Amino acid sequence: MSLLKYFSKKRKTPEDEDNQDMDQLTILSKLASQHDKWYQIYPSLSKLAAIAFTVPISSVNCERDFSTMNRVKTDLRNRLQGDHLAACMLLSINGPPLSEFPYNRALGVIFPKAKTYRQYWKCSHDDDDHDYLFLAFF
């Protein structure tokens, strides 16, 4: 027996003729909507319908979040707490895939000006020959 048929025995609504063909999901969505007449007619059922729509069907999201937390908060990062941990988890869950991450741009932000080191070595021991080896580190 559907919710509508059970509770329509107690209170009649002006839409009773149209409600016979509705499925359970449509009835629950009408009950949960605060802008519908059903919210005023069936306040207790409306609260139950709102709760039914907020309860997750499975625990996949919760398990995924705990796995992400275990991946982010490791033994090396054991002092992550509060907002910083939440931000790291949010980036890990919703961030771009690693294949699309702009590594060059990120390095440019972290190290805006690369230091250049130049080193010259004299390669030969003859005074007449001036061959130098040039090494540069960028």
Please name every residue paired with 137 in a beta bridge, in sequence order, or none if there are none: 117
User: Do 36 and 69 share a structural domain?
Assistant: no
**With b meaning 16 or more CB within 10 Å and e meaning fewer, what string describes 46-64?**
beebeeeeeeeeeeeeeee
Q: Which residues contact 109 (CB under 8 A, 6 or more apart)?
A: none
The CA distance from 11 to 6, in Å, is 10
Strand extents, DSSP E, the chain: 117-122, 132-137
pLDDT in tens, 88-136: 888 888 887 778 888 888 888 887 776 665 555 555 555 555 555 555 5
* Domain boundaries, position 67: 60-98
35 and 12 together in one domain = yes
DSSP line for 68-106:
HHHHHS-STTTT--HHHHHHHHHHHHHSPPGGG--HHHH
Q: Does 75 lie in the same domain as 48?
A: no
Residue 9 lies in a domain: yes
Query: What is the CA 14 to chain-centroid distance, rounded?
Result: 43
Please say if the pLDDT value at position 13 is more than 70. no
Q: Per-residue pLDDT tens for 19-29?
A: 556 677 777 77
Residue 137 lies in a domain: no
Torsion of CA 54, 60, 65, 69, to 10 degrees: 150
Establish if 8 belongs to a structural domain: yes
pTM of the model: 0.36
- Between CA 28 and CA 37 the distance in angstroms is 13
Helix (H, G, I), strand (E, B) or coil at 138: coil
